Amino acid sequence: MKKCSTECLRFKLIYVGEDEEAVIAMDRPKLLEAISRSMLASIDDGKFAQLSSDANSSNEVRSMETALEEKN
């Protein structure tokens, strides 16, 4: 996902049903976090959907990305 443009990330989030105005207001780290959450939620049937929406630490994002990579 790191090689995707910011606009591509925004499009993907809007496509999966995120609020367009909220997505446009997000910076790149928030977009990556939201994409990671969305992908994990779809893989784990909502297991990760309960993560706090204000989790902005890069360690948490990295751990979510690692978990996603392990699933694939």
Cβ atoms within 10 A of the Cβ of 61, count? 19
- What is the chain's mean pLDDT, rounded? 76
Least confident window among 3-17, 32-46, 56-70: 56-70
- Provide the domain limits for residue 39: 6-71
* Confidence at residue 53, expressed as pLDDT on a 0 to 100 scale: 44
For residue 11, being part of any structural domain is answered with yes
- How many domains in the chain? 1
Query: Residue range 38-65: average pLDDT?
Result: 61
For residue 55, being part of any structural domain is answered with yes
Contacts (Cβ under 8 Å, ≥6 apart) of 69: none
For residue 1, being part of any structural domain is answered with no
Crossing angle between the packed helical segments 6-15 and 28-43, to the nearest 10 degrees: 40
Q: What is the pTM of this model?
A: 0.56
For residue 45, being part of any structural domain is answered with yes
